[in-house]
Amino acid sequence: MRIRAALLAHVNSRLEVTTLDLEEPRSGEVRVRVRAAGVCHSDWHVVTGDTKHPLPAVLGHEGSGIVEAVGEGVSDLQPGDQVALNWAPACGNCFFCSRGRPNLCDTYVGPIWAGTMLDGTTRLSAKGNPVYHYCGLACFAEYIVVPSVSCVKVPQDLPFEIAAVIGCAVTTGVGSVLNTAHFKAGSSAVVFGAGGVGLSTVMGARLAGAEAILAVDPLPARRAAALELGATHAFEPSPNLVESIKRHTGGRGADYAFEAIGRPETQELCLAVTRPGGTVVFSGLSPMGSKTNLPGAVLVREEKTVKGSYYGSANPPVDFLRYAELFQAGNLPLDRLISKTYPLEQINEAFGEMLSGVVRRGVVTFE
């Protein structure tokens, strides 16, 4: 079938909304009509080349939609199911899946970073030439074909925009608090970055019962958003930032520090604002090849723990539904995370406003 999609042809080029060919789903795959797709900084890393990925490609890895067709062997999904898209599908059988770490499943890692389905081929093409799927999803498109395990059924009354942001920002941010850090109620947290993931981290810390939540971001609008969503204090980066944070955390530093940006210099700063015995969590995606200096002497002498958080250490089929239920119960205000929606034709404007900090989380919507 012929579909409209936003195509990235070259690094550092604009996305072009064009018509592509989409094959029917093969064995173990489904076709989804996309209804919403979040605009995330991880997609922008592909545009700039900080994340290496085969091109041309259709970006978009934070989406939701309705199942329209299923391939051979798919029995747990049927046309009409409403789904949130999972960019870290799990096989259920590999070393990591069998040890309760499905977000690290190594069966799908190779194909996903190659921009293909599990069989090494694409379902997208242009004039007979392959077009690659970012994160195995490519949801900046009207319709997509994805592995069935990339679809998590969600309640039919869950708004598509909410289902979409659960698919990345929320699961990454809230999960970094609940799953990776195992955050203890009554603790203090510093969150660096108040974009979609950082604001979700703030909401996660509030949900976990944090006594103090300190957000750090250079943009006034984002600091205001962090305060609205649960932060107790908000700071702009400054030469005396470490002293300011320690002053608001009993003079010792925070119990937990979360870095939701992916900048080595900010990751290093996390270590300085965390108290002895505290925990640092990195959830922001750093440019490939970048290096972060974390002095071993500090880690040893002050017994600080540094943890990576990939997709919020999530089990998506379980966590997506948990976050949806928390939203529907009024305990996780995800609707306040989304500040603007765009048609597909405004995808470049959406990225521009994400980079400028005008929006909290922008979402491309499809009728």
Mean pLDDT of the chain, nearest integer: 96
pLDDT tens per residue across span 151-161: 999 999 999 99
**What pLDDT score was predicted for residue 27?**
97
**What pLDDT score was predicted for residue 285?**
85
**What pLDDT score was predicted for residue 267?**
95
Answer yes or no: are the C-beta atoms of 145 and 311 closer than 8 Å.
no
**What pLDDT score was predicted for residue 362?**
97
User: What is the sign of the dihedral through the CA atoms of 194, 198, 204 and 209?
Assistant: negative
Over the chain, what HEC string results? CEEEEEEECCCCCCCEEEEEEECCCCCCEEEEEEEEEECCHHHHHHHHCCCCCCCCEECCCCEEEEEEEECCCCCCCCCCCEEEECCCCCCCCCCCHHHCCHHHCCCCHHHHHHCCCCCCCCCEEECCEEEEEHHHCCCCECEEEEEHHHEEECCCCCCHHHHHHHHHHHHHHHHHHHHHCCCCCCCEEEEECCCHHHHHHHHHHHHCCCCEEEEECCCHHHHHHHHHCCCCEEECCCCCHHHHHHHCCCCCCEEEEEECCCCHHHHHHHHHHEEEEEEEEECCCCCCCCCCCCCHHHHHHHCCEEEECCHHHCCHHHHHHHHHHHHHCCCCCHHHCEEEEECHHHHHHHHHHHHHCCCCEEEEECC
Domains 2-153+337-365 and 169-311 share a fold: no
Answer yes or no: are the C-beta atoms of 140 and 345 closer than 8 Å.
no
Domain boundaries, the chain: 2-153+337-365, 169-311
Say whether pLDDT at 81 is over 90: yes
Which tokens in the block code for residue 147? Answer: 């592995």
pLDDT tens per residue across span 153-195: 999 999 999 999 999 999 999 999 999 999 999 999 999 999 9
Higher pLDDT, 26 or 118: 26
| Nearest-10 crossing angle of helices 220-228, 196-207 | 30
- What is the dotted CATH code of the domain comprising 2-153+337-365? 3.90.180.10
Taking residues 195-202, report their average pLDDT. Answer: 97
In terms of pTM, does the model score above 0.85?
Answer: yes
pLDDT tens per residue across span 204-224: 999 999 999 999 999 999 999
Q: Considering the chain, what percentage of its residues have pLDDT values greater than 70?
A: 100
Instruction: Report the distance separating Cα 140 and Cα 123, nearest Å.
Output: 14
Instruction: Report the distance separating Cα 280 and Cα 123, nearest Å.
Output: 40
Residue 127: phi and psi, rounded to 5, are 55, 40
**What pLDDT score was predicted for residue 201?**
98
Say whether pLDDT at 286 is over 90: no
Answer yes or no: are the C-beta atoms of 262 and 256 closer than 8 Å.
no
- Band of pLDDT at residue 89, cut at 50, 70 and 90: very high
**What pLDDT score was predicted for residue 289?**
86
- The region, left, alpha or beta by phi > 0 then psi within -120 to 50, assigned to residue 251 is left
**What pLDDT score was predicted for residue 218?**
96
Say whether pLDDT at 241 is over 90: yes
pLDDT tens per residue across span 337-357: 999 999 999 999 999 999 998
Taking residues 46-63, report their average pLDDT. Answer: 96
Answer yes or no: are the C-beta atoms of 20 and 7 closer than 8 Å.
yes
Taking residues 55-68, report their average pLDDT. Answer: 98
Own/partner long-range contacts of 114-118 (Cβ < 8 Å, ≥24 apart): 114/54, 115/53, 115/54, 115/57, 117/26, 117/29, 117/145, 117/147, 118/28, 118/147
**What pLDDT score was predicted for residue 108?**
86
Say whether pLDDT at 287 is over 90: no
- Band of pLDDT at residue 109, cut at 50, 70 and 90: confident
pLDDT tens per residue across span 311-327: 999 999 999 999 999 99
- What is the dotted CATH code of the domain comprising 169-311? 3.40.50.720
